[in-house]
Each structure stands twice: as C-alpha cells, then as structure tokens.
Amino acid sequence: MTELIPQIMLVGCGRMGGAMLEGWRERGLADSVVVDPLAAVPGVTVVAEAAAIPPGFAPAAVVLAVKPQSAAAALPDYRRYAGSAVFLSIMAGKTIAGLGRLLGDAAIVRAMPNTPAAVRQGVTVATAGPGVQPAQRALCDTLLQAIGAVAWVEDEGLIDPVTAVSGSGPAYVFLLAELLERAAIEQGIPPGLARLLARRTVSGSGALLAASGEDSAALRVAVTSPKGTTERALAVLMAEAAWPAAISQAVAAATARSRELAD
C-alpha cells in the first residue's frame, strides 16, 4: 500500500487512539510508534513508555490521546519533539495554552473527535494554536479525515461546547436506544425483538438523517401524522420540562465539565 501518512507517534492507544490508528493504517501509514503499556498492535512499533522510543525516530506528528488527568505527568517527556513535530491533542478540556506549558514552544492543534470514528463515521472539530504552519495543519486534517468529517474553528472556546455536543453526544444516542428497548419490553415486546427494534430504529434514523438534505425538524414533522401515535408521543417528549430542557441542561453540564478539566 502506498504510504499516504508520514511517521506518526501515538501516545495512548485506547478506544479513540486505536480507532485513529486503524484509520491511518487503512490509508497507508509509514513506520510509526505507539506509546502505551497495554497496547498490542501488529505491524507497528509499540513501546511502554517514552524512554523506550527508538533513538532517532522523528515523527511528523505526535498525537496525544491519553486521559486528561494524565497530561501533567506524561506530556513533558515529549518536549524533545517541539520544533520538529506538530502536536495533535484529542484530550478533553486541555487547552492549547495549558499544553504549551507542558510541551514548551510547540505547534499544537487541539481537536475533539467522537466514538463513531471506530467505523470511520466520526466528526471532529479542531483548532490550531499559534505557530502551527499550513503544512502541519494540513497533516492534522489528513489524520482526522481518516476517521470521518472534520471542521475547523478559530475560536478555541468553542471546543468545550463541541465536546458536550458531539464528543459526548454518542452516549446520548446510545441512551435513547437503551431507553427505547426498556420501554418496548414494558409494553410486552420480547427482549430480543425489543433490542432489534430499538437499535435498528436509532441506527436507521441516523442513516436517513445523514443521507437527507432536509432539516432534522422537517424529517420529524414528516413522520408525525396529525392526531396519530407519533404526535401523542412527541407531546410527552417535547413538553417544556421534558427533552427540550433536559438536552439543554445536559449539554450545559458537559460543557462546564470540559472547562473544569482545563488547567
């Protein structure tokens, strides 16, 4: 396979880091290094700690995919790459300024992907810090495009609400499927059928939304017949104290937590 992506160092190979790595490998990844004591990735050099990185390894990008709580202890080991590599951070809450205090005079891109990256259907919002060169931004865009759609913003402050909407958003959708399944069982539907109905309804509706050029509200109206069953259900869900309030409160709470994770 032609190598379309240069040497990368991935620090942390959990669920999101692993999804990104697979996306890069599908597109053709040069010999790269993963730093993670628990990882086992065939065809990629894996080391348990920064001290074990092969001498002379010169990554074009260092992707930071460790937990935010680990940043202060883990990141200073990678200061040696400041000035040569671009740092791409997917750590929730960690600001470019805060990362700079740990990494030194580094070119840093902050991004927030989400878990549909595992099936290359993710969406990522990214912002570039001071000193990021056009070629470095383009490389980060390539790395993120390997797992789905990418949007760039100038205002780093938007990353916190983005985290609350799309970063945490898959959990909200999975909760919907969970609650639909439970409600189906409560109405007497057998558990296996209840799970099939809930999962396929959520995934199929998402596929329809992705394929349609219509606004989501228009799609909702199209399936809501006057005086029908859907209208009766939506009267419950769209009551002022129900979904409209709960979703706004949930996103606000997640945004606040993202900001708390900053330095």
Domain ranges (residues) in the chain: 8-159, 169-260
Residue positions counted in the chain: 263
**17 vs 63: CA distance, rounded Å:** 8
Are 252 and 160 in contact by the 8 Å Cβ rule? The answer is: no
**Mean pLDDT, the chain, integer:** 95
| Predicted pLDDT at 40 | 86
Nearest residue to 131 via CA among 83, 98, 90, 178: 83
**Average pLDDT over every residue of 24-42:** 93
Task: Give the list of residues 6+ apart from residue 198 with CB closer than 8 angstroms, or none.
Answer: 177, 178, 180, 181, 184
| Predicted pLDDT at 3 | 63
**Average pLDDT over every residue of 82-96:** 95
Superfamily in which the 8-159 domain is placed by CATH: NAD(P)-binding Rossmann-like Domain (3.40.50.720)
Which tens digit of pLDDT belongs to each residue from 127-144?
Answer: 999 999 999 999 999 999
**240 vs 232: CA distance, rounded Å:** 15
Superfamily in which the 169-260 domain is placed by CATH: ProC C-terminal domain-like (1.10.3730.10)
**Average pLDDT over every residue of 18-39:** 95
Are 102 and 75 in contact by the 8 Å Cβ rule? The answer is: yes
CA angle 157, 210, 29 (to 5 degrees): 70
Residue 151: pLDDT band (50, 70, 90) is: very high
Q: Is the pLDDT of residue 2 over 90?
A: no
Phi, psi of 140 (to 5 degrees): -60, -40
Laid out side by side, the sheet with 45-47 consists of 45-47, 33-35, 8-11, 61-64, 86-89, 107-112, 122-128, 148-152
What percent of the chain clears pLDDT 70, i.e. is strictly above it? 98
**Average pLDDT over every residue of 106-125:** 97
Q: Is the pLDDT of residue 263 over 80?
A: no
Q: Is the pLDDT of residue 1 over 60?
A: no
Are 5 and 145 in contact by the 8 Å Cβ rule? The answer is: no
Residue 262: pLDDT band (50, 70, 90) is: confident
Task: Give the list of residues 6+ apart from residue 40 with CB closer than 8 angstroms, or none.
Answer: 46
**Average pLDDT over every residue of 90-100:** 94
| Predicted pLDDT at 43 | 84
| Predicted pLDDT at 4 | 85
**Average pLDDT over every residue of 38-49:** 91
Q: Is the pLDDT of residue 162 over 90?
A: yes
What percent of the chain clears pLDDT 90, i.e. is strictly above it? 92
| Predicted pLDDT at 112 | 97
**115 vs 239: CA distance, rounded Å:** 30
| Predicted pLDDT at 230 | 97
